């Protein structure tokens, strides 16, 4: 398999080594052997792909930043003329228009490959909660893919798309990145328009980006972002957070890390060891680690599912859940149905506490470059997850659930593999509109720890301080 | 009566024409004749005032910006060692500490004169909803004072304080300014700390400032503002909104005004005529008036009382209302008791709509310097108000209720008197952190329309373009 990074694919197009039609044919061919992974809810047919190819024909490659780059779309985001199911056929509708973000990517030359499987209504972090089948991990099909953006992550990891769109309300754009050796960007809330997105928690939802590396994530973000007056939660970007401010972060770095007593790996020795190994490598590379109290972050995290925000999930599907509740998977119904109950007084009280927690959690950020946590504490097998589907799902969110409520940006970045060959990664987090700063730090980590991308078998050259555009890729076999 | 502006009083102190002790004695003497106005819930005794006088003794006048300046405090804001009643004796407590804003003002040399009457729990815009008696208008005791910051406004208008603190959630810092010929600043939410304030709607409440003119309002704001990490709704000021950016706004100005069909004066011909007269004077002074659609502002306004925000008022007094509801005035109980009912789904839906309205209402602000509305459409007599106490109170908020929900700053500024000698004024409104821009426009209006301050009988010289510090006061008799 050729590298599917945007850089590699673009070079191949520019040097006439391949064409978008060939790349898409190859993707369709390779997709067949992953049918049991349950990645796609709808893969575009040749006929459906044709217009996307045709519209590129008379446009120079270098006129469009994503010319001919294939991408996957989580099936709670609208792709025109293709059903949006949100993982529930009874809910499905066929939109006339693309989601704003999808339209911007297509306008930039990208080609949608298909709509991907997800935990129903984006409610889950594990990838098993879908009537379209459990989504399987790209590295070992016995393991969960992570969710809710399960198919979007696995598609990129397996080289069936160069990047993909997920969504992230509680960690859905980060946990599957960790489990499938990808960069997962949960942008600052409002940086990407939510027009054309089926809401989970509308006040918190972010369309997220899976990519093979942080440079690709930045390139996609540059095309996907933009203020949208039609989206009440949209916001203007700042000067210092623009695409041109992405680049490998050099110089001294201090990461805020969780004290030993507050770490949780839920019995996963492989992940525990992978995390410690990651910290050792970063320390050896000269990065300072500073412990910060995780308690207020954890308190914010628990507000999300234990507090009244589940009422937003209820609103999003109120008509369905009140008229046809059996259309929902039982686990989803169990979670969302109580969302009609909380009082406004409960929500105001939770909002007051959240505002206080924002202040408390912001204080330690003053002295560090970003927070660094494991992206997830444990990678479960599908069987393990299904034994205790609610408890273990909530364990998956221990390091992710606070982020959206606290209005933070974050980037999941792969850092190592367990002895069993399973991917592990960490999440970098900072205040809203720190996206480019975080991606630049992720780039530094990827330079310090050069891993192969997705399931690729080759690794980029370790090149700690070179600018992104000077990166060279050499074929090096990596064991493990 | 000597002018009580900060500038005048400071000049009198610096030239040894008077002392704080003399000023306070004079205030106490003059207060007696206004006993029937029901201004004070607690006026500080000589003994209580003594420490405030003593601490100034060895401090040079010019070392403190508010040295010896008397101010009044609405009785839902803590003044140490004096009961805070919020207009309800069953609720009262005696705080050990000053509210953060009060402390800052005292640190700047200001002297608290007393705690002022208010509509119970700051729930009202009229000044009649108090067990401490209806507060009477400074110009004609048959008329309402406006509320809920009734005593704070009347005290300044009558020269019993140079400035005062009110609060503003729905218009409580503006309506009484209009009815008593004062400048009323509702600062941007979070610019003044709410630590030590009894909440009405905690997510919306602002401590507000009544002053005799906009220069004084700016001087008080400079001492009162400041980020407070302990207040979850506090926020940092911006460079362009700092005190030094106050000054009379010169050059072309465009005000957004309400189209004829959307104006409401509720039968008050005097106010209707006063408003039209104001617009004529401003137009004649070269200011451009541009109509903007008021419908989305009005929709936001109606969310405040018709929507779930009343749940915040319920939270603020939940213990009292659930254990001793008879301690509330019947009208207050009628309003707040249903606040326990709304669902979180109602609040989320209202928040979604509000976010959309923020976008819609922000759009016309791009082309204007500020919005200008009547501050209130009608000034009722106390008897009229009590005939229909809920309906007429809500009429008082027609031009004010949207401001806090839309996160706007605003300044009420007097512009004329009715033929009956009753004060009328307009409100200038802009986006959050436009406080100094609005005060600077208010200063321009006060130069165009030089009115006497409060019930003073003299008017400052019309001096349209002079800096504030060059203003001269001359004794000119004003009729009407």
ipTM, two decimals, is: 0.92
Mean pLDDT, chain A, rounded, equals: 94
**What is the C-alpha separation between A66 and A51, in angstroms, rounded?**
16
Which member of A308, A345, A355 has the closest CB to residue B315?
Answer: A345
| Residue that is written with structure tokens 């704001």 in the block | B221
Kindly tell me the number of DSSP H helices and DSSP E strands found in chain B.
17, 11
**What is the C-alpha separation between A146 and A154, in angstroms, rounded?**
9
Is B397 within 8 Å of B125 (Cβ atoms)?
Answer: yes
**What is the C-alpha separation between A153 and A412, in angstroms, rounded?**
12
Q: Fill in the DSSP letter of residue A43.
A: E
Query: How many residues appear in chain B?
Result: 480
Interface residue A296 vs chain B (CB under 8 A): no
CA of A280 to nearest chain B CA: how many angstroms apart?
Answer: 35
**pLDDT < 50 positions in chain B:** 462-480
pLDDT number for residue B472: 38
How does strand A111-116 pair with strand A70-74? Answer: parallel
pLDDT number for residue B465: 30
Torsion, CA A107, CA A109, CA A112, CA A113, rounded to 10:
170
For residues A104-133, give the mean pLDDT: 98
Is B224 within 8 Å of B188 (Cβ atoms)?
Answer: no
Tens of pLDDT, residue by residue over B110-130, are 999 999 999 999 999 999 999
Tokens representing A312 are 């937003």
pLDDT number for residue A190: 97
Give me the percent of chain A exceeding a pLDDT of 90. 93
* Radius of gyration in angstroms for the set of CA atoms belonging to chain A, rounded to a whole number: 21
Query: Which DSSP string do the residues of A87-154 spell out, in sequence order?
Result: T-GGG-B--SS--HHHHHHHHTT-EEEEEE--SGGG--SSS---TT-PPBPSS-TTBB--SSSHHHHH
**Phi-psi category of residue B454: left, alpha or beta, with phi > 0 → left and psi -120 to 50 → alpha:** left
pLDDT number for residue A151: 98
Which member of A315, A340, A348 has the closest CB to residue B311?
Answer: A348
**What is the C-alpha separation between B299 and B363, in angstroms, rounded?**
16
Query: Which DSSP string do the residues of B76-142 spell out, in sequence order?
Result: TB--TTS-B-TT-GGG-B--SS--HHHHHHHHTT-EEEEEE--SGGG--SSS---TT-PPBPSS-TT
Determine whether the interchain pair B232/A202 forms a contact, defined as Cβ–Cβ distance below 8 Å. Answer: no
pLDDT number for residue B478: 42
pLDDT number for residue A182: 98
Q: Give which of A74, A91, A123 is closest to A309, Cα–Cα.
A: A123
Determine whether the interchain pair A344/B344 forms a contact, defined as Cβ–Cβ distance below 8 Å. Answer: yes
Is A116 within 8 Å of A152 (Cβ atoms)?
Answer: yes
**What is the C-alpha separation between B377 and B258, in angstroms, rounded?**
12
**What is the C-alpha separation between B105 and B111, in angstroms, rounded?**
8
* Radius of gyration in angstroms for the set of CA atoms belonging to chain B, rounded to a whole number: 21
**How many other C-beta atoms lie within 10 A of the C-beta of residue A346?**
18
Tokens representing B341 are 């009912």
Determine whether the interchain pair B343/A311 forms a contact, defined as Cβ–Cβ distance below 8 Å. Answer: yes
Is A53's pLDDT higher than 70?
A: yes
φ, ψ dihedrals at A180, nearest 5°: -130, 20
Is B390 within 8 Å of B164 (Cβ atoms)?
Answer: no
Active-site choice (A152, A162, A164, A172): A172
Tens of pLDDT, residue by residue over B308-332, are 999 999 999 999 999 999 999 999 9
B14-B15-B21 Cα angle (round to 5): 70
Residues facing residue B412 across a β-bridge: B184, B427
Determine whether the interchain pair B343/A312 forms a contact, defined as Cβ–Cβ distance below 8 Å. Answer: no
Catalytically active residues of B are 74, 148, 172
Q: Give which of A213, A286, A294 is closest to A261, Cα–Cα.
A: A294
pLDDT number for residue B461: 52
Sheet holding B206-211, edge to edge: B40-43, B111-116, B70-74, B163-168, B206-211, B183-186, B408-417, B423-431, B370-374, B254-257, B288-291
pLDDT number for residue B468: 35
**What is the C-alpha separation between A400 and A171, in angstroms, rounded?**
5
- Residue bearing the bigger pLDDT, A465 or B289: B289
Tens of pLDDT, residue by residue over A354-400, are 999 999 999 999 999 999 999 999 999 999 999 999 999 999 999 99
Is A417 within 8 Å of A226 (Cβ atoms)?
Answer: no
pLDDT number for residue B457: 83
Which member of B342, B355, B359 has the closest CB to residue A344?
Answer: B342
For residue B316, the surrounding DSSP H or E stretch is helix B310-316
pLDDT band at A43 (very low <50, low <70, confident <90, very high): very high
pLDDT number for residue B459: 75
- Contact list in A for residue B305 (CB cut-off 8 A) is none
pLDDT number for residue B1: 65
Q: Which of B317, B319, B343, B364 to mutate to test the interface with A (most CBs of A within 10 A)?
A: B343
Tens of pLDDT, residue by residue over A192-244, are 999 999 999 999 999 999 999 999 999 999 999 999 999 999 999 999 999 99
Which member of B229, B314, B359 has the closest CB to residue A229?
Answer: B359
Q: Residue B309: closest CA among chain A residues belongs to which residue?
A: A344
Euclidean distance between the first and the last CA atom of chain B, given in angstroms as a whole number: 18
Is A467's pLDDT higher than 90?
A: no
Interface residue B126 vs chain A (CB under 8 A): no
pLDDT number for residue A307: 84
Is A465's pLDDT higher than 80?
A: no
For residue B24, the surrounding DSSP H or E stretch is helix B20-32
Is A478's pLDDT higher than 50?
A: no
Burial readout B211-226 (b: 16 or more C-beta within 10 A, e: otherwise): bbbbbbbbbbbbbbbe
Interface residue B227 vs chain A (CB under 8 A): no
């Amino acid at each position: 398999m050729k590298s599917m990074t945007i850089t590699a694919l673009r070079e191949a197009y520019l040097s006439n080594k391949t064409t978008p039609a060939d790349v898409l044919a190859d993707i369709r061919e390779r997709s067949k052997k992953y049918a049991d992974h349950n990645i796609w809810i709808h893969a575009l047919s040749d006929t459906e792909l044709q217009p996307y190819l045709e519209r590129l024909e008379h446009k120079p490659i270098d006129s469009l930043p994503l010319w001919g780059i294939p991408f996957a779309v989580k099936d709670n985001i609208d792709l025109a003329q293709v059903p949006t199911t949100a993982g529930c056929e009874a809910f499905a509708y066929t939109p006339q228009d693309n989601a704003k973000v999808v339209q911007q990517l297509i306008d930039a030359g990208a080609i949608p490959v298909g709509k991907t499987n997800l935990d129903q209504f984006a409610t889950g972090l594990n990838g098993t909660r879908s009537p379209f089948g459990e989504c399987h991990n790209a590295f070992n099909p016995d393991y969960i893919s992570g969710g809710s953006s399960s198919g979007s992550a696995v598609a990129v990891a397996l080289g069936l798309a160069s990047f993909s769109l997920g969504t992230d309300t509680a960690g859905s754009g980060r946990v599957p990145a960790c489990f499938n050796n990808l960069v997962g960007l949960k942008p600052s809330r409002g940086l990407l328009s939510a027009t054309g997105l089926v809401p989970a928690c509308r006040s918190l939802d972010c369309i997220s980006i899976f990519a093979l590396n942080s440079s690709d994530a930045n390139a996609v973000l540059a095309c996907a972002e933009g203020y949208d007056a039609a989206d009440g939660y949209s916001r203007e970007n700042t000067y210092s957070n623009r695409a041109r401010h992405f680049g490998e972060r050099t110089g001294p770095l201090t990461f805020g890390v969780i004290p030993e007593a507050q770490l949780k790996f839920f019995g996963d020795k492989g992940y525990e060891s992978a995390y410690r190994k990651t910290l050792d490598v970063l320390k050896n590379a000269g990065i300072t680690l500073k412990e910060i109290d995780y308690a207020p972050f954890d308190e914010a995290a628990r507000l999300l599912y234990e507090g009244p925000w589940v009422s937003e999930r209820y609103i999003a599907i109120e008509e369905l859940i009140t008229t046809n509740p059996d259309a929902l998977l039982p686990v989803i119904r169990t979670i969302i149905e109580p969302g009609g109950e909380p009082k406004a007084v409960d929500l105001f009280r939770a909002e007051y506490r959240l505002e206080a927690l924002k202040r408390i959690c912001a204080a330690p950020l003053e002295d560090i470059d970003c927070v660094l946590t494991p992206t997830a504490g444990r990678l479960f097998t599908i069987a393990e997850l299904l034994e205790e589907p609610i408890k273990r799902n909530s364990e998956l969110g221990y390091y992710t659930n606070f982020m959206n409520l606290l209005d933070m940006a974050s980037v999941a970045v792969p850092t190592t593999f367990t002895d069993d060959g399973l991917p592990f990664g960490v999440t970098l987090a900072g205040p809203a509109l720190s996206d480019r700063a975080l991606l630049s730090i992720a780039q530094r980590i990827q330079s310090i720890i050069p891993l192969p991308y997705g399931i690729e078998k080759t690794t980029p050259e370790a090149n700690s301080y070179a600018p992104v555009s000077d990166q060279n890729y050499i074929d090096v076999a990596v064991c493990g």
